[in-house]
Amino acid sequence: MEFSTLLFTIQNGIATITINRPDKLNALNKDVIQDLSNAIDEVYQNAEIKSAVITGAGAKAFVAGADISEFISLNKEGGAALAEKGQTNVFNKIENAPKPIIAAVNGFALGGGCELAMSCHFRIAAENAKFGQPEVNLGLIPGYGGTQRLTNLVGKGRAMELCMTSNMIDANEAHRIGLVNHVVPSEQLLPKAIEILTTINTKAPLALAKVIECVNVAGSENGFQTEINLFGDCFDTQDMKEGVNAFLEKRKAAFQGA
Protein backbone atom coordinates (compact mmCIF):
# COMPACT_ATOMS: atom_id res chain seq x y z
CA MET A 1 0.00 0.00 0.00
CA GLU A 2 1.40 3.40 -1.03
CA PHE A 3 1.36 6.50 1.18
CA SER A 4 2.76 9.99 0.58
CA THR A 5 3.32 10.88 4.25
CA LEU A 6 3.74 7.51 5.98
CA LEU A 7 6.00 4.50 6.00
CA PHE A 8 4.03 1.27 6.38
CA THR A 9 5.57 -2.15 6.99
CA ILE A 10 4.29 -5.51 8.19
CA GLN A 11 6.49 -8.03 9.95
CA ASN A 12 5.44 -11.06 12.03
CA GLY A 13 1.84 -9.85 12.13
CA ILE A 14 2.75 -6.35 13.37
CA ALA A 15 2.15 -3.29 11.20
CA THR A 16 4.51 -0.38 11.86
CA ILE A 17 3.03 2.96 10.82
CA THR A 18 5.62 5.77 10.77
CA ILE A 19 4.54 9.36 10.16
CA ASN A 20 7.28 10.49 7.79
CA ARG A 21 7.55 14.28 7.76
CA PRO A 22 10.59 14.78 10.00
CA ASP A 23 11.41 18.16 8.43
CA LYS A 24 7.98 19.36 9.66
CA LEU A 25 8.28 17.52 12.98
CA ASN A 26 5.68 15.09 11.58
CA ALA A 27 2.92 17.69 11.89
CA LEU A 28 -0.58 16.53 11.02
CA ASN A 29 -1.99 18.02 7.83
CA LYS A 30 -4.80 16.90 5.53
CA ASP A 31 -2.54 14.46 3.71
CA VAL A 32 -1.34 12.83 6.92
CA ILE A 33 -4.90 12.50 8.20
CA GLN A 34 -5.99 10.84 4.95
CA ASP A 35 -2.98 8.52 4.91
CA LEU A 36 -3.56 7.56 8.54
CA SER A 37 -7.20 6.83 7.78
CA ASN A 38 -6.19 4.54 4.93
CA ALA A 39 -3.48 2.88 7.01
CA ILE A 40 -5.89 2.12 9.86
CA ASP A 41 -8.37 0.71 7.33
CA GLU A 42 -5.59 -1.63 6.21
CA VAL A 43 -5.02 -2.70 9.83
CA TYR A 44 -8.74 -3.47 10.15
CA GLN A 45 -9.02 -5.37 6.88
CA ASN A 46 -5.71 -7.18 6.39
CA ALA A 47 -5.87 -10.62 8.00
CA GLU A 48 -2.06 -10.75 8.05
CA ILE A 49 -2.01 -7.87 10.56
CA LYS A 50 -2.67 -8.83 14.18
CA SER A 51 -1.62 -5.54 15.81
CA ALA A 52 0.04 -2.22 15.01
CA VAL A 53 2.37 0.45 16.35
CA ILE A 54 2.30 4.13 15.39
CA THR A 55 5.46 6.23 15.66
CA GLY A 56 7.16 9.26 14.11
CA ALA A 57 10.20 9.53 11.84
CA GLY A 58 13.37 11.08 13.22
CA ALA A 59 14.53 11.67 16.77
CA LYS A 60 12.80 15.00 17.43
CA ALA A 61 9.09 14.31 17.22
CA PHE A 62 6.33 11.77 17.31
CA VAL A 63 3.92 14.43 16.06
CA ALA A 64 4.59 18.02 17.14
CA GLY A 65 1.01 19.11 16.46
CA ALA A 66 -1.27 20.06 13.61
CA ASP A 67 -0.22 22.04 10.56
CA ILE A 68 -1.37 25.45 11.82
CA SER A 69 -1.14 27.00 8.35
CA GLU A 70 -4.27 25.04 7.41
CA PHE A 71 -6.27 26.78 10.17
CA ILE A 72 -6.00 30.38 9.04
CA SER A 73 -8.80 30.27 6.45
CA LEU A 74 -11.30 28.31 8.57
CA ASN A 75 -14.46 29.69 10.15
CA LYS A 76 -16.68 28.09 12.81
CA GLU A 77 -18.18 25.54 10.45
CA GLY A 78 -14.83 24.74 8.86
CA GLY A 79 -13.16 24.23 12.23
CA ALA A 80 -15.90 21.90 13.42
CA ALA A 81 -15.76 19.95 10.15
CA LEU A 82 -11.99 19.59 10.46
CA ALA A 83 -12.29 18.19 13.99
CA GLU A 84 -15.16 15.88 13.08
CA LYS A 85 -13.35 14.48 10.04
CA GLY A 86 -10.21 13.77 12.03
CA GLN A 87 -12.16 12.20 14.88
CA THR A 88 -14.25 10.00 12.60
CA ASN A 89 -11.59 8.96 10.11
CA VAL A 90 -8.58 8.56 12.39
CA PHE A 91 -8.79 9.06 16.14
CA ASN A 92 -12.03 7.22 16.88
CA LYS A 93 -11.11 4.58 14.32
CA ILE A 94 -7.86 3.88 16.17
CA GLU A 95 -9.52 3.86 19.60
CA ASN A 96 -12.20 1.41 18.47
CA ALA A 97 -9.96 -0.82 16.35
CA PRO A 98 -10.55 -4.54 17.03
CA LYS A 99 -6.79 -5.09 16.91
CA PRO A 100 -4.34 -3.62 19.44
CA ILE A 101 -2.71 -0.36 18.31
CA ILE A 102 -0.05 1.22 20.51
CA ALA A 103 1.88 4.48 20.25
CA ALA A 104 5.67 4.54 20.38
CA VAL A 105 6.29 8.18 21.28
CA ASN A 106 9.65 9.66 20.32
CA GLY A 107 10.25 13.36 21.03
CA PHE A 108 7.42 15.88 20.93
CA ALA A 109 3.80 14.71 21.16
CA LEU A 110 1.99 18.03 21.28
CA GLY A 111 -1.55 19.05 20.41
CA GLY A 112 -2.82 16.67 17.76
CA GLY A 113 0.24 14.52 18.37
CA CYS A 114 -0.65 14.01 22.02
CA GLU A 115 -4.22 13.33 20.92
CA LEU A 116 -3.02 10.77 18.38
CA ALA A 117 -0.99 8.99 21.04
CA MET A 118 -3.97 9.02 23.42
CA SER A 119 -6.27 7.50 20.80
CA CYS A 120 -4.02 4.42 20.77
CA HIS A 121 -4.78 1.63 23.22
CA PHE A 122 -1.70 2.47 25.28
CA ARG A 123 1.57 4.35 24.98
CA ILE A 124 5.31 3.71 25.30
CA ALA A 125 7.58 6.75 25.52
CA ALA A 126 11.23 7.33 24.78
CA GLU A 127 13.13 9.17 27.49
CA ASN A 128 13.17 12.33 25.34
CA ALA A 129 9.38 12.38 24.84
CA LYS A 130 7.42 15.54 25.70
CA PHE A 131 3.63 15.72 25.95
CA GLY A 132 1.29 18.70 25.95
CA GLN A 133 -1.95 20.29 24.78
CA PRO A 134 -0.91 23.86 23.87
CA GLU A 135 -4.03 24.83 21.92
CA VAL A 136 -5.03 27.68 24.28
CA ASN A 137 -1.91 29.52 23.08
CA LEU A 138 -3.66 29.77 19.70
CA GLY A 139 -7.05 30.71 21.11
CA LEU A 140 -8.21 27.14 20.53
CA ILE A 141 -9.00 23.99 22.49
CA PRO A 142 -8.06 20.41 21.62
CA GLY A 143 -10.27 19.22 18.76
CA TYR A 144 -9.26 15.60 18.24
CA GLY A 145 -10.54 14.24 21.56
CA GLY A 146 -7.85 15.72 23.80
CA THR A 147 -10.14 17.05 26.52
CA GLN A 148 -11.98 13.73 26.71
CA ARG A 149 -9.20 11.16 26.46
CA LEU A 150 -6.77 13.10 28.63
CA THR A 151 -9.40 13.33 31.37
CA ASN A 152 -10.07 9.60 31.14
CA LEU A 153 -6.36 8.81 31.38
CA VAL A 154 -5.07 11.22 34.04
CA GLY A 155 -8.17 12.55 35.81
CA LYS A 156 -10.12 15.79 35.70
CA GLY A 157 -7.78 17.99 37.73
CA ARG A 158 -4.61 17.10 35.84
CA ALA A 159 -6.39 17.34 32.47
CA MET A 160 -7.73 20.79 33.37
CA GLU A 161 -4.26 22.00 34.37
CA LEU A 162 -2.51 20.61 31.30
CA CYS A 163 -5.09 21.99 28.88
CA MET A 164 -5.34 25.41 30.57
CA THR A 165 -1.63 26.06 31.22
CA SER A 166 -0.42 24.44 27.96
CA ASN A 167 2.56 23.21 29.97
CA MET A 168 4.63 20.36 28.53
CA ILE A 169 5.48 17.35 30.67
CA ASP A 170 8.35 14.96 30.15
CA ALA A 171 8.20 11.20 29.76
CA ASN A 172 8.77 10.44 33.45
CA GLU A 173 5.97 12.77 34.54
CA ALA A 174 3.71 11.29 31.86
CA HIS A 175 4.48 7.87 33.29
CA ARG A 176 3.86 9.02 36.85
CA ILE A 177 0.37 10.33 36.06
CA GLY A 178 -0.61 7.35 33.94
CA LEU A 179 -0.42 8.87 30.48
CA VAL A 180 2.19 6.33 29.35
CA ASN A 181 2.83 2.72 30.37
CA HIS A 182 6.60 2.52 29.91
CA VAL A 183 9.58 4.86 29.50
CA VAL A 184 12.65 3.48 27.72
CA PRO A 185 15.83 4.79 26.07
CA SER A 186 15.19 5.99 22.52
CA GLU A 187 16.99 3.06 20.92
CA GLN A 188 14.76 0.63 22.81
CA LEU A 189 11.45 2.32 21.91
CA LEU A 190 10.38 0.27 18.90
CA PRO A 191 11.93 -2.96 20.20
CA LYS A 192 9.89 -2.55 23.42
CA ALA A 193 6.72 -1.93 21.42
CA ILE A 194 7.39 -4.97 19.25
CA GLU A 195 8.16 -7.09 22.33
CA ILE A 196 4.82 -6.22 23.93
CA LEU A 197 2.83 -6.71 20.72
CA THR A 198 4.56 -10.04 20.06
CA THR A 199 3.24 -11.23 23.42
CA ILE A 200 -0.23 -9.83 22.74
CA ASN A 201 -0.30 -11.50 19.32
CA THR A 202 -0.17 -14.93 20.98
CA LYS A 203 -3.54 -14.30 22.66
CA ALA A 204 -7.04 -14.99 21.32
CA PRO A 205 -7.85 -12.30 18.72
CA LEU A 206 -11.59 -12.20 19.38
CA ALA A 207 -10.99 -11.90 23.12
CA LEU A 208 -8.55 -9.03 22.52
CA ALA A 209 -11.17 -7.19 20.46
CA LYS A 210 -13.69 -7.66 23.26
CA VAL A 211 -11.21 -6.37 25.86
CA ILE A 212 -10.77 -3.20 23.78
CA GLU A 213 -14.53 -2.77 23.46
CA CYS A 214 -15.11 -3.24 27.20
CA VAL A 215 -12.29 -0.99 28.39
CA ASN A 216 -13.43 1.75 26.02
CA VAL A 217 -16.81 1.91 27.78
CA ALA A 218 -15.44 1.54 31.32
CA GLY A 219 -17.11 3.99 33.65
CA SER A 220 -20.18 4.42 31.47
CA GLU A 221 -23.62 3.23 32.49
CA ASN A 222 -23.28 0.34 30.04
CA GLY A 223 -19.80 -0.76 31.14
CA PHE A 224 -20.66 -3.72 33.34
CA GLN A 225 -23.45 -4.95 31.07
CA THR A 226 -21.16 -4.76 28.04
CA GLU A 227 -18.62 -6.91 29.88
CA ILE A 228 -21.30 -9.44 30.86
CA ASN A 229 -22.59 -9.66 27.29
CA LEU A 230 -19.17 -9.98 25.68
CA PHE A 231 -18.02 -12.50 28.30
CA GLY A 232 -21.01 -14.61 27.27
CA ASP A 233 -20.22 -14.15 23.58
CA CYS A 234 -16.77 -15.65 24.14
CA PHE A 235 -18.36 -19.00 24.99
CA ASP A 236 -19.58 -19.33 21.41
CA THR A 237 -16.09 -19.02 19.94
CA GLN A 238 -13.71 -21.77 18.86
CA ASP A 239 -10.90 -19.80 20.48
CA MET A 240 -12.52 -20.16 23.91
CA LYS A 241 -12.83 -23.91 23.46
CA GLU A 242 -9.23 -24.11 22.25
CA GLY A 243 -7.98 -21.99 25.14
CA VAL A 244 -9.78 -24.02 27.81
CA ASN A 245 -8.77 -27.36 26.27
CA ALA A 246 -5.15 -26.22 25.93
CA PHE A 247 -5.13 -25.19 29.60
CA LEU A 248 -6.57 -28.52 30.73
CA GLU A 249 -4.21 -30.45 28.46
CA LYS A 250 -1.22 -28.38 29.64
CA ARG A 251 -0.24 -27.26 26.14
CA LYS A 252 0.06 -23.95 24.30
CA ALA A 253 -3.17 -22.75 22.71
CA ALA A 254 -3.34 -22.31 18.94
CA PHE A 255 -5.88 -19.54 18.45
CA GLN A 256 -7.47 -19.04 15.04
CA GLY A 257 -9.58 -15.96 15.62
CA ALA A 258 -12.82 -17.87 15.22
Residues catalogued as catalytic: 115, 135
How far out from the chain centre does Cα 37 lie?
13
Helices of type H across 177-222: 189-200, 205-216
- Is residue 20 within 8 A of residue 55, CB to CB? The reply is no
Work out the angle at residue 207's Cα, subtended by the Cα atoms of residues 252 and 94, and round it to the nearest 5 degrees.
125
- Is residue 142 within 8 A of residue 118, CB to CB? The reply is no
Q: Kind of pairing, strands 182-184 and 122-126?
A: parallel
- Residues, the chain: 258
Q: Which amino acid is at 213?
A: E
At 154, give phi and psi (nearest 5°).
-120, -5
Work out the angle at residue 79's Cα, subtended by the Cα atoms of residues 76 and 81, and round it to the nearest 5 degrees.
110
